[in-house]
Structure formats: C-alpha cells, structure tokens
C-alpha cells in the first residue's frame, strides 16, 4: 500500500520523505488555509521535495472552470494530480482532463456508486473519506471494501486512495482490505511506529542493561 501524506506543511513532508515514507501528497483547500501559504507557491515547493503524485484541488464549481483551474495547477509540475470533487461537473472535468493524459484524483467520495462513476470517467485515484463517514456513525471501512469489490469485479484500474484517515486502525484495515493508497496526516503516520509493548519491553531492557555496568561504545 502506498503512503500519501495529507498535509501542506513542508517540514512534516520533508521529514517523512527523508525516511522513504512518502509516495505522494494530498492537499485540499482547508489544508492550504492551515498552511497560511499561497496555493501555487506551496504546491510547487511540495513538488520539489516529493517525486510521487501531489494532489492540488480545484475550487470552481462548474466543469469548464474546473478544467481551466486544473490545467493551471498542472503547470506547477509534472507530478500534479488534479483533485476534483465528485459532482456531475467534477466528473465531466475528470473525463476531459484524464483524456488529456493528466492524473486526476476524484475526491469527496462517499458511495461505491460514486466510485464507479469516477472510474468510468477515467480517474487515476478515487478518494473515499473514511473518517467523515465514521463521524456520522456509518462504517467508513465498509465503503473501502465495497469499492475494492466493485473495481475488482470489473477490472477498473482507478486506484483506491483511502482518505480522511484518523487512526492507526484505519491504516491497518485499509491495508488488509487492499486499498492501493492511503493518505493520512503526518501524526498518524508517525504513530504507526508505536506500540505500548515496544515501550514496556525497551524500558525493561534499559533497566537490565544499566545493571550490567557495560558500555557498547
Ligand atoms: C483527502 O484527500 C483529504 O484531504 C483528507 O483526507 C480529508 O480528511 P479529513 O476528513 O480528516 O479532513
């Protein structure tokens, strides 16, 4: 499973990228707001650090304007994935932009039917939002499983990019189901390394080592 990092914070992206943990980046208008930076400038900087797909989201609501914004965002770098909302206009824009050979990430997906439409419109990535379904008491992981089944039934090549990931359990469940990619905030990715038994085991080893009175260096 590929790891995308869901942020526009340069330091966090660079730290994870240096460890080989970043296969791509996703941003959205809320994350651009949080960064306090200009979208073109910050996205260009992200693309200079990360070689994998970097999603940049359009903000227009109508297809023609989405297409124009998407083309402008794609000028930033070769690894831009144009992020479009899963609306009828977004699907029209997806069909056009993917037909031009551009990477497209269709976002705000909340049903397997929506994911089916995005695949038929040529999306490179479909972004089902797990956490936001959990927020309304619907199991977001069921959606990942449903999309996996539908895509496998018909051999669609659109990548399932599990999004709105809030916990380490989400990451593990996505990997078990077979999501192609997951995008998570840097904090969640770092938390994947932690386990209480690792901490407890290390503490005991350090106590016993101190009693030996030895040094390795
Ligand atoms: C994905 O592309 C989105 O940017 C993101 O995962 C949304 O996550 P949230 O629901 O935690 O805001």
Compute the distance from residue 187 Cα to the ligand 1 centre, in Å.
Answer: 14
User: Across residues 31-55, what is the average pLDDT?
Assistant: 98
What's residue 59's pLDDT?
98
- Determine if the pTM surpasses 0.90: yes
User: Across residues 24-33, what is the average pLDDT?
Assistant: 98
The residues that are catalytic are 83
35 lines ligand 1 (CB under 6 A): no
Q: What percent of the chain has pLDDT over 70?
A: 100
Compute the distance from residue 48 Cα to the ligand 1 centre, in Å.
Answer: 22
Domains, the chain: 2-212 (3.20.20.70)
Q: Give the pLDDT band of residue 96 (cuts 50, 70, 90).
A: very high
Residue of 35, 129, 171 with the most ligand 1 atoms within 8 Å of its CB, for mutation: 129
109-120 pLDDT per residue, tens: 999 999 999 999
Query: Which are the contacts of 5, defined by CB distance < 8 A and separation ≥ 6?
Result: 12, 13, 16, 21, 22, 24, 25, 26, 183, 184, 185, 186, 189
Inter-CA distances, 211 with 185, 214, 215, Å: 40, 8, 11
Interface TM-score (ipTM) > 0.85:
yes
Residue of 163, 179, 187 with the most ligand 1 atoms within 8 Å of its CB, for mutation: 163
């Amino acid at each position: 499973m590929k790891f995308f990092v869901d942020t526009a914070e340069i330091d966090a992206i660079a730290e994870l990228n240096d460890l080989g943990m970043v296969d791509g980046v996703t941003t959205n208008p809320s994350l651009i707001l949080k960064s306090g930076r200009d979208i073109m400038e910050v996205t260009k900087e992200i693309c200079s650090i990360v070689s994998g797909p970097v999603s940049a989201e359009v903000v227009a609501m109508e297809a023609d304007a989405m297409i124009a914004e998407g083309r402008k965002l794609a000028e930033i770098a070769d690894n831009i994935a144009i992020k479009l909302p899963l609306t009828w206009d977004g699907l029209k824009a997806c069909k056009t932009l993917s037909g031009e050979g551009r990477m497209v990430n269709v976002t705000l997906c909340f049903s397997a039917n929506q994911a089916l439409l995005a695949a038929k419109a040529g999306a490179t990535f479909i972004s089902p939002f797990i956490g936001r379904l959990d927020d309304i008491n619907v199991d977001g992981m069921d959606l990942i499983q449903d999309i996996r089944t539908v895509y496998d039934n018909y051999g669609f090549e659109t990548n399932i990019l599990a999004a709105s990931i809030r916990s380490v359990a989400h990451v593990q469940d996505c990997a078990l189901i077979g999501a192609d990619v997951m995008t998570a905030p840097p904090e969640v990715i770092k938390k994947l390394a932690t386990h209480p038994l690792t901490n407890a085991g290390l503490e005991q080893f350090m106590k016993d080592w101190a009693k030996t009175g030895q040094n390795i260096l």
